[in-house]
Amino acid sequence: MARKLGGRKTTVIVGLVGLLLTVLGGVMIFVVPQLIRDQILQNVRVNPSSLSFDMWKEIPVPFYMSVYLFHVMNSDEVLNGEKPSIQERGPYVYREYRQKRNITFNDNDTVSFLEYRTFVFQPEMSHGLETDYIVMPNLLVLASSVMMEQRPMSMKLLMSLSFSMFGQRAFMNRTVGEILWGYRDPLIDLLNKYFPNMLPFKDKFGLFSEFNNSDSGLFTVFTGVKDFSKIHLVDKWNGKSKLNFWNSDQCNMINGTSGQMWAPFMTPEYNLQFYSPEACRSLSFEYEKSGDFEGIPTYRFVAPNTLFANGSVYPPNEGFCPCLKSGIQNMSSCQLSAPLFLSHPHFYNADPELVESVIGLHPNKEEHSLFLEVHPVTGIPMNCSVKLQLSLYTKAVPGIGQTGRIQPVVLPLLWFEERGAMEGQTLKSFYNRLVLMPKLAQYFQYVLNALGCLFIIITLILIIKNQRTPSAPRGAGPPIRPAPQLPDSPPPGRPPGWTACRQQVLSDLPCLAMAAVWP
C-alpha cells in the first residue's frame, strides 16, 4: 500500500512540475520580447540616465578619414587645351575624434549640441606623408576665374593683373598638409586686410581648413523621451528648420538624423536618412541586404543610383540645379558660388562622359560605393564607410590669361572616406547585452517548454501504468489462497460430508467438530 501511495505522489509531483514549466515557458515567449523591447526603448533615448548616452555624447567607435589626392601629371599640356591626366595619391589617413559640447536639453523634447572634430595624422596607416608634394588646380585662380566669367572685361583684366603681381598660376605644387589644412598666401592676406568679410576663411586657405578643431554647426535633435516616434530626428540646424541653399522646398528639407544613430526596430522598408552639413543637404539610403558584423545582425544601406542624378534623370533633384552631367551635384550655392561639385569617387554612377574627359579614373563599386551597416533592433551603426569626391569645374576664361586654353572639364581634386567600425570592449559589451543575453533568454524559454512537455508525457505514462495494475480494496487483508479442489467422495473410513467440510471455512462449527474426530 505504501508503494502505491508513493507512486501516486510521484505522478502528481511530476505532473505539477511539467505543468509549471510549460506555463512558465509559454509566459516567457510573450513577456521576454516585450521586456527586451521596453529596455531598448528606455536606453536608446537621448537621456543622461540611458545606457547609450555616453556613447551618443562621445562616440567610442574609432573613426578614420582617408584622403586620396589627384596629382595632375600634365598641367602645362592642360593649359594648352589637352585632356587632363591625373594620378591618385594616398591614402593619407587621419584619426577622427568627435565630441559633443554645449549640450542643452530644451523643453520641447529636444537637445541642442555642437559636435567638435579633431583630426590627427596616422603615418603608419598612410601611403605617404603630409610633406608629399602634389600638383593640383589653384582654386584661387581657376575657381574665381569661372566665377568672374560674366563680369566686365575690365574686371577680369584687373584680376589677371593681380594674379600676375602675386605670382599666382593655374596649377600649384604644394604639400598634402598645405592643401588640406591650409597655407598662407600674400593674395589672401591682402584680401582679408582690405575686404575683411569677402573670404570665409582667415589666415590660411585649405580644402579642410575649416574642419579641424571646429564644429559642424548647432544641431537640435529630438530626444525621444516624450515622443518616441521622433527619436534622433533633426529639428533644426543652426536654428533653421529648413535650408535656403536650393531651388525647391523638397531639396531644402532637413530630413533624418544627425548621422550617428537612428530609430530602433528597423524593417527592410526603412528609409535611412541623415543631414550632412558638408554636403549641404540630407542624404537618403536604401536597404540592400541583411548580414552580420562580428556576430551582430545588421541591415546594409547603400546610396541609390539617383543620389547625385541631375533633374533630367531624377526630377526630384531638379532643385539642386543648375546641373551639368548626371552624377555630380552642384555645390556652388552653398560654397560662395565656387564651381565645386560633389559626387561618388572616380565619378562612380555618373555620366560616362565625366570619366572619359579625364585620364586616370577607374570607377568601381567595391572601392567607390558607400554603405552603412546598422543593427536594426537598436538603430546603432556597426560599420560604415561614406565616400565622397570633390571636383572643380574649370575652363579658359577670356581676359584672364592664367587660364590659358583649358577645355571645359570637371576636374577631380580629391576624394575621402570616413569609416568607422565598432570594436574592442565596446563591441564585446554590445554583443553580450543586445545579442547574447536575448538569445539565451529565447533558448531558455524553449528549454522550459521542452522540459514541461517531457514531464507531462512522463506523468501520462505513470497514470496509464497505474490504471493497468489491480489494487486491493482499502482495509482488506492479504489475499486468500484458494483451497485445492478435493474429490466429492470421502476417503475410506470417513463419514459422508467429510469432503464438503474440508472445503468450508474454518469458522463453520460442525465441520470443526468433524475435523476434530476425523482429521
Per-domain boundaries in the chain: 61-435
How many Å apart are CA 275 and CA 281, to the nearest integer?
A: 6
Contact 393, 341 (CB under 8 A): yes
| CB of 254 closer than 8 Å to CB of 238 | no
Low-confidence residues in the chain, pLDDT < 50: 1-6, 486, 505-507, 509, 512-513
**Number of CB atoms found within 10 A of residue 409's CB:** 17
DSSP letters of 395-441?
Answer: ---TT-GGGTTPPPEEEEEEEEEEEEE--HHHHHHHHIIIIIHHHHH
Q: CA nearest 277: which of 114, 61, 392, 101? A: 114
- Number of other CB atoms surrounding residue 25 within 10 Å: 19
Count of CA atoms in the C-beta half-sphere (13 A) of 196: 0
Is residue 403 within 8 A of residue 170, CB to CB? The reply is yes
**What is the SS3 string spanning 62-131?**
CEEEEEEEEEECCHHHHHCCCCCEEEEEEEEEEEEEEEEEEEEECCCCEEEEEEEEEEEECHHHCCCCCC
Take residue 58 and report the three cell numbers written for it: 562621445
Query: For residue 329, which of 350, 300, 299 has the smallest C-alpha distance?
Result: 350
Q: Which residues pair with 329 in a beta bridge?
A: 342
Coil/strand/helix, residue 323: coil
pLDDT the model gives residue 1: 42
**Which residue type occupies 478?**
P
Q: Each residue of 502-511: pLDDT tens digit?
A: 555 444 545 5
Q: What are phi and psi of 119, to 5 degrees?
A: -115, 130
Position 193 scores a pLDDT of: 72
- CA dist., res. 14 & res. 208, Å (int): 73
Residue 5 pLDDT: 41
pLDDT score recorded for residue 213: 85
Q: Indicate the SS3 state at residue 391.
A: strand
SS3 assignment, position 272? strand
Report the b/e string of 466-503 with b at 16+ CB within 10 A. eeeeeeeeeeeeeeeeeeeeeeeebeeebeeebeebbe
Contact 275, 258 (CB under 8 A): yes
The residue among 383, 360, 251, 229 whose CA lies nearest residue 306 is 251
Q: C-alpha cell of 470?
A: 489491480
Model-wide pTM > 0.95: no
99 within 8 A of 116, measured Cβ to Cβ = yes
Q: Are 74 and 358 in contact (CB under 8 A)?
A: no
pLDDT at site 500:
59
Cα(123)–Cα(115) distance, integer angstroms: 26
Per DSSP bridges, beta strands 296-302 and 234-237 are unpaired
The confidence score (pLDDT) of residue 254 equals 95
Q: Classify 137 as helix, strand or coil.
A: strand
Helix (H) or strand (E) holding 515, with range, is helix 509-517
Question: Are the CB atoms for 401 and 160 separated by under 8 Å?
Answer: yes
Q: Sign (positive/negative) of CA torsion 436, 442, 444, 446?
A: negative
* Cis amide leading into 381 (omega within 30): no
Asked whether the beta carbons of 208 and 179 are under 8 A apart, the reply is no
Question: Residue 507: its pLDDT value, please?
Answer: 46
pLDDT of residue 506: 45
Structure confidence at residue 319 (pLDDT): 92
Exposure of 33 by Cβ count < 10 A (0-12 exposed, 13-18 middle, 19+ buried)?
middle
344: three-class secondary structure by DSSP:
coil
Distance between CA atoms of residues 487 and 34, nearest Å: 83
DSSP 471-484: -PPTT--SPPPPPP
